[in-house]
Amino acid sequence: MGIFVLLSKLTDEGRRTIKSKPERIKEVNKEMEAMGGKVLAQYAVLGGYDFVTIMEAPDNETVAKISIEMGARGTVQITSLPAIPVDDFIKKIK
């Protein structure tokens, strides 16, 4: 299983949804898990993104599917980044 960082920006519609129903955030996490990912940690952040989600998934294609499915709803835009644990990275570059 790989680790992925998902950087999410809410659209205007997404902000309205979260304002009226904040628990929707947890429901979306369950939907992502049903598509093959596992949310390990999630943070609401300030700045250029609204949420940072750390996810475990079997492969890039699973995360791409999750990103496309979530984005197609019109409530969020997601940037997905595969993450390499530092110890693994060090081993690969030696």
pLDDT tens across 26-75, in order?
999 999 999 999 999 999 999 999 999 999 999 999 999 999 999 999 99
* pLDDT confidence band for 80 (50 / 70 / 90): very high
Q: Which amino acid is at 36?
A: G
Tally of domains within the chain? 1
84: domain range? 2-93
pLDDT of residue 4: 98
pTM (2 d.p.): 0.90
Strands (E), the chain: 2-10, 38-44, 51-57, 76-83
CATH number at residue 18: 3.30.70.920
